[in-house]
Structures are given as C-alpha cells and as structure tokens.
Structure 1
C-alpha cells in the first residue's frame, strides 16, 4: 500500500526529526565531523509504517531497538537527502517549527554537498545553524562555544539568517499522519461507572497556528495550555466526537496500532448509543474491550481488576450478575450531561 505523500509529511510533523551531529574527529579538517540525518521513529509494533515509508522514499534503512521497543527509519546519505527527502518536503510542506527545522536542514545539506564547510567561517555558521534547528534540544551554549573554539574565537561573532516560515493550508491527509503520530483516542473509566470520551493532539507551543487550523478543519474542539511550552487540541464533547471527529476519521485510514484504538473507541460509543452499557454484561464488555486500549492500560491508576472491584463488579460477582442484573450505570457526555440508568 502506497501512502499519500501528505500523510507522510503529517507523520514527520509528529515523529520525524531533522538533525545535525557534530563530533570530534582528529582526522577531519578543524578536528570536527559534521553529519546531517533525517529520521522517523515509531513503536516497534508499527514498524510496518516505516517499511512503507522506506519503500516510498526509495532510500534509507530501518533499525530496531528492542530495548526501547522502537524502530527508526534513518537517512544520512547526502545524495539520498537531496534526491528523495528534501524534494518531498518542498512539495508537501511541514508546518510551524518543524518547517523551520527543515529549512535550516536544507541549507546545511546544500552547503555540505558543495563542500563549502571546508571554509572556516562556513563551518562555524553550520555549527550555529545546527544548534538552532530544534525547539527542544539538550545542546547548551557551553557546547556551542567548545565546538566554535576548534575554529578560533573569531568565529563566535558570525551571525546566521533566520529562515522564513510560510503559511500553508492544512491538508486532511496531513492531519491523519499527524494523528497517527501524536493523536490519542481515549476513554476514561471513573468512579460510579462514569465514562468520559476524548481525543487530543499535544504539541509544542510553537505549533499553536497548526492546532488552530486543525480546530478549524474539524469544526470543533478547544485549545488548552498544558504548560509554558506545551499546548493541546482536545475534543471532550461526545456530540462533537460523533458528529465531527468520527465521520472525518472514517473517511481516512490509519496504519498503526492506532487504527485498532480508533476502532475500539468507535465500538464503545456505538455500544453506548445502543444503551448496552445499561446492563451488567454490556458494561463489562466495554471494560474488557477498552480499559487496556492504550499502552495496555499502563497509565491508568487502577488495573482493570482493581477498577472492576472499585465499582462492585469484581470477577466473582459479575459472572453471576450477567443473569441477575441490578446495577446502576452513569454515562457522562462532553457537555456535562449525566444520565442515570438503574436496572
């Protein structure tokens, strides 16, 4: 299956990285080696996506890190970067800070290809450009000064130009790729059998314009500041989820385990619409179907067994209750409406 090019750009917006490594190497000119690399990282269970991406770009390698449970598509050949990677993102552009990183990356790759970095001043500018590429970095000013010290103190004053970020309309396939990487369909199981449905995409604050476009394209949702550097687009209204989000996602295909998450998410909402949650058997079906949907339930405060016990549906009881009934179910929609159903 060939991916839509905009889907790939959306996936890179979420899980891709353009970066430049600078390492000490006594055999290299000025004692430093510079290397440009493009990567996309996924959980190991989504390695198939990276293999499809590799097929699309006709270059690169896929590496597995079993210890981290991840896989990574990597391209570091200047020839491949110029022939396959860079043209793609010129034709199917990224947004906000990721676009900025790409434009700096493009300039660095161009200078490396021309061997311009053999000039001391150009090499110094490449180092400074590399240090400004990404919003989140562990590179500090001390590391920058140390590297520039290999080239001489006169290079400290070299200034670099800030790339001009362009504003592009949001493509629906791009959004699906972004959701593949950074989107989350979630169902909260609360006390007294309260179910909350939600969807969110979390980004660095610099991507606020992108989240505003998502809000406009889907015609719903809110923007919430999670910290000084993190912002989230979220849909908490069950009505908006059913009328806006589900119809949009049903027109497009996800390719990772997130496809299964969306399927479960939609199934549970359908069960609620059919009022199957109003029976012991139906509510237990929902718990068994969705409680461990994301990360096998590792982020939940209670295990599935502990939750069932907390709502008086622990295993010895609920096996008998399928025939006897006699439990109250509370469903909470995004608008704050509570519906109490007693059997």
Structure 2
C-alpha cells in the first residue's frame, strides 16, 4: 500500500453533469505482471474491485476499487487498522476519508459542497511528483459555483 497503492479523487469534467464536474474517489494498487498474485490477494482481502492491464504499460496491472460504498466499508477501515499508523500517506488518507464522508452526506449534490470536496481533492497530495491537475482549482470552482454564487454587484432594493 505504501509504495504502489494510491487513494485518489478524480475531478471529471462532464457537460451533462449538474455542475459541469463530478468527483470520482478511487483506490488503486499497481504491480508489474510478476506481482499479479499480490493484486489477486488484495482482491480477495477486500472482496471487491477488479484487476486490469494498466493503460500504456503492458507489463503492469492495476487492482482498482471505484465503488464508493466499498471504499467506505472496506478500504477505509483497512487503512485505519493496518496502514495509517505507519504511513507517510496519513494526510492523504485523512483527506480521502473526509471526502468520502462528505459524499456519504450528499454534499457532492450541492454546489457549495461539491466545491468544498474539490478543494479537498486538490489538497490531497501536494507533493505529487510534479504531477498537476488538468485544470486550475479556481477554474473548476468557478464553473461549479456559477449561477449559484450571489452577484456582489447587485445590491438588494432598499
């Protein structure tokens, strides 16, 4: 988990999505094909998820869990028990868990809640080996909150 495992929250642009974006929390574990038995073991331990070839890397495989309920009921407790006490990914895990909590409360269905989740997702892994998100945070937030943020130029009639 420490080396090849990742907790991530993708922010996906989608025109038909209510606010233009949606969030997609995921757990991934990547191994060279020689480590395929480890991925199979992980799948047995969690009792969910799927294994597939890593796109662009024919010698690597990915074990992934995308189901939010499985992430909450299986991955979060596993990380709390076995990984977090020893992990350098502790802060990333805490943000990931907080995002799942907010989604469980339905916050991703409200513009302000979705914006808050996006902010937390952008803060999840600040030392991400130079990897950047496709869109700047403010661009995503402004798209989500457009038509939902009061216009400061309009003042109420007195």
Instruction: Give the TM-score of the pair, scaled to structure 2.
Output: 0.77
The Cα of 1:319 is off from its aligned counterpart by 5.9
Work out the CA distance in 2 between the residues paired with 1:210 and 1:242. Answer: 22
From 72, 78, 84, the equivalent of 1:242 is 72
The Cα of 1:270 is off from its aligned counterpart by 0.6
The Cα of 1:290 is off from its aligned counterpart by 1.6
Q: Aligned residue for 2:122? A: 291
The Cα of 1:295 is off from its aligned counterpart by 4.0
Distance 1:257 1:302, change over 3 A: farther
Work out the CA distance in 1 between the residues paired with 2:93 and 2:106. Answer: 20
From 36, 43, 58, the equivalent of 1:215 is 43
Structure 1 residue 188 and structure 2 residue 10: aligned?
A: yes
Task: Provide the secondary structure at the position in 2 that maps to 1:184.
Answer: strand
Q: Aligned residue for 2:139? A: 306
Distance 1:287 1:245, change over 3 A: same
Task: Provide the secondary structure at the position in 2 that maps to 1:252.
Answer: helix
Alignment of 1:123-134 (within 5 A): none
Q: Aligned residue for 2:25? A: 197
Structure 1 outlier segments of 4+, above 3 Å: 295-299, 317-321
Distance 1:223 1:253, change over 3 A: closer
Gaps of 5+ in 1: 1-178, 322-343
In our comparison, the structure showing a higher alpha carbon Rg is 1
Contact 1:201/1:234 (8 A) holds in 2: yes
Contact 1:292/1:304 (8 A) holds in 2: no
Q: Aligned residue for 2:154? A: none
Distance 1:302 1:218, change over 3 A: same
Instruction: Give the TM-score of the pair, scaled to structure 1.
Output: 0.38
Task: Provide the secondary structure at the position in 2 that maps to 1:302.
Answer: coil
Contact 2:107/2:114 (8 A) holds in 1: yes
The RMSD of aligned alpha carbons is 2.3
Q: Select the structure with the greater relative contact order (CA < 8 A; seq sep ≥ 6).
A: 2
Please give the per-residue CA displacement for 1:196-249, whole angstroms capped at 9, x wherever unaligned: 110001111111111111111111111111132111111111122122211211
Distance 1:243 1:312, change over 3 A: closer
